[in-house]
Amino acid sequence: MANKMVITCALTGAETTKQQQPALPVTPEELADAAAEACLAGAAIIHLHARHDDGTPTADLKVFKKAIDLIRKKTDVVVEITTGGAVGMTPEERIAPVSLKPDMASLDCGTVNFGDEYIVNTLPIMRQFASEMNKHGVHPTLECFDVSHVQSSHILIKEGLIKPPYHYGFVMQVPAALSLSVKTLSYMMDQMPPESYFTVMGIGRAHIPGICGAIAAGGFIRVGFEDNIYYSKGRLAKSNAEFVERAVRFSKEAGLEIAKPSDVRELFKLK
Ligand code: ZN
């Protein structure tokens, strides 16, 4: 895996609306098309949230299952589902889709401000989520919105609830959470245990700095409408794939190969 860049595409998230970004995939069919396009463009992992057809976020197992099934029919991309869910969902709702046995799932490693809202992740919730993921053979992406989240993950590791190789997701520049800078990124990296990999998720205006930071620091890249809707100032991206294509160009210019889904399966020993 040395010299290979893993690109994750976060297709839709819970917050972005079709009013803001008309190309946002919402229905299971749209999500499957967007996943196939993103994979063809170079994404090895897609990060999945589910929505009702009217666009509101849902943790409904039927909707998740339909989306995952359709994605798997179209492409071999690694499927990572959210367990961050959406603001206001209960922990039980958020963790339920892990029973569908996606390849990977996000595991938020601490409570976080989300603009004016917040998402609660206490240690007991984190333990419960990690146990459920173990039970279903789902590899966690340890999403950290703050330095203390990386440190909290050490507790789960010590308790044997998370096994190496670890995959961290550094979510940076969420309003009212940790911003992205060389100092914050390198401090986050310094807290990781051995056998760790990390993906930089630069939100909004941190999108391109996040890509460049990942390349410079030896990390992986996440792009997609969950994190950002503008390709450049004032110009909406045409599709998730357009973001992936740019991340591929940046990575290749930096002398990196683009990882395939099979590379990620091998790297994280996915079931
Ligand atoms: Zn997400």
The rounded Å distance from CA 266 to ligand 1 centre is: 23
> Distance between CA atoms of 79 and 191, rounded to whole angstroms?
27
The rounded Å distance from CA 258 to ligand 1 centre is: 22
Name which of 133, 268, 134, 128 is nearest 198 in CA terms: 268
Whether 121 shows a pLDDT value over 80: the answer reads yes
In the block, tokens 């240690």 appear at 123
In the block, tokens 């390349």 appear at 215
Whether 97 shows a pLDDT value over 90: the answer reads yes
> Distance between CA atoms of 200 and 216, rounded to whole angstroms?
11
The rounded Å distance from CA 36 to ligand 1 centre is: 18
The rounded Å distance from CA 102 to ligand 1 centre is: 14
The rounded Å distance from CA 59 to ligand 1 centre is: 12
Domain CATH code at residue 232: 3.20.20.70
The rounded Å distance from CA 246 to ligand 1 centre is: 21
The rounded Å distance from CA 49 to ligand 1 centre is: 6
In the block, tokens 């409904």 appear at 60
- pLDDT tens across 187-211, in order? 999 999 999 999 999 999 999 999 9
Count Cβ atoms within 10 A of the Cβ of residue 121 and give its class: 0-12 exposed, 13-18 middle, 19 or more buried: buried
- Domain containing 241 equals 4-267
The mean predicted confidence, pLDDT, of the chain is: 97
Q: What confidence score (pLDDT) does residue 94 get?
A: 96
Long-range contacts of 226-230 (CB under 8 A, 24+ apart): 226/10, 226/11, 226/12, 226/13, 226/14, 226/15, 226/16, 226/47, 226/49, 227/10, 227/13, 227/201, 227/202, 227/203, 228/202, 228/203, 228/204, 229/16, 229/20, 229/21, 229/24
The rounded Å distance from CA 146 to ligand 1 centre is: 16
The rounded Å distance from CA 48 to ligand 1 centre is: 7
Q: What confidence score (pLDDT) does residue 192 get?
A: 98
User: How many domains would you assign to the chain?
Assistant: 1
In the block, tokens 């966690």 appear at 140
Q: What confidence score (pLDDT) does residue 2 get?
A: 78
- Chain mean position to CA 6: 12
Model confidence band, residue 85 (pLDDT cutoffs 50, 70, 90): confident
Q: What confidence score (pLDDT) does residue 1 get?
A: 75
Distances (CA, A) of 37 to 12, 23, 199, 248: 14, 13, 21, 14
The rounded Å distance from CA 105 to ligand 1 centre is: 10
Model confidence band, residue 228 (pLDDT cutoffs 50, 70, 90): very high
The rounded Å distance from CA 145 to ligand 1 centre is: 12
> Distance between CA atoms of 100 and 62, rounded to whole angstroms?
10
Q: What percent of the chain has pLDDT over 70?
A: 100
The rounded Å distance from CA 14 to ligand 1 centre is: 7
- pLDDT tens across 123-135, in order? 999 999 999 999 9
Model confidence band, residue 88 (pLDDT cutoffs 50, 70, 90): confident
H-run or E-run covering 240: helix 240-253
The rounded Å distance from CA 51 to ligand 1 centre is: 12
